Amino acid sequence: MHPIDQLMSEHRLIESVLDAMEARLAGMTPASFPAGFFQEALDFFANFADGYHHYKEEDALFPMLRTRGIPDQGGPIGCMMKEHVFGRSCLAGIRGKLDAARDGEAGAVEAIRAYATDYVGMLRQHITKEDTVLFRMARYVLEPPDVEKLERDYANQNNPRITAAVREKYEAVAARLSSEAVAVTL
């Protein structure tokens, strides 16, 4: 698959867990805090959305786009990098309040609601900007050898962060979190 198509298919998977998180936030109270969901969602967002997908963008795609003249600082790449950093701070915020929220502390549950709401909102518009602006630019500026190099980088099974096993694991996690979220909204 073309590397940009790979990244866009990963966006769809990430959006499915953002949908699940939104569904959970809608009915969330301190008495019904879904600790298990947040534990698994944190794992998905840290190790797939960030550790796998953002890693593939930051490690391989963005450096190549810089060499093809797409502006970095003050431009679209710098903006995307800042949003990745902001996302990590939201996840750290959720992680830091998880034990207290599991114990039923209302303030911790509300803090998680705020961090999670910020995260969902940011990541949705981040994905839209990549799909409609940066990735369109990428398809235009990348030369065939660039695309081949990205294909090789993304298929490198010696890089433990991006193996097929990681992708398969988090596809299964996303499917389960989505079906469970649908069940709680019925």
CA distance 94 to 130: 25
* Site track 13-52 with Fe ion (rule: CB under 5 A), x = hit: ----------------------------------------
CA distance 123 to 65: 21
Q: Closest separation between CB of residue 33 and Fe ion, Å?
A: 29
Q: Closest separation between CB of residue 22 and Fe ion, Å?
A: 18
Q: Closest separation between CB of residue 29 and Fe ion, Å?
A: 32
Residues numbered 53 to 82 that lie near Fe ion (CB under 5 A) are 57, 80
Binding residue count for Fe ion, defined by CB under 5 A: 3
Q: Which stretch binds Fe ion (CB under 5 A): 88-96, 110-118, 123-131, 159-167?
A: 123-131
Q: Which of 130, 135, 142, 173 binds Fe ion (CB under 5 A)?
A: 130
Helix (H, G, I), strand (E, B) or coil at 29: coil
CA distance 80 to 38: 25
Within 8 A by CB and 6+ apart from 74, the residues are: none
Nearest Cα residue to 109 out of 47, 18, 38, 61: 38
For binding to Fe ion (CB under 5 A), which residues are involved? 57, 80, 130
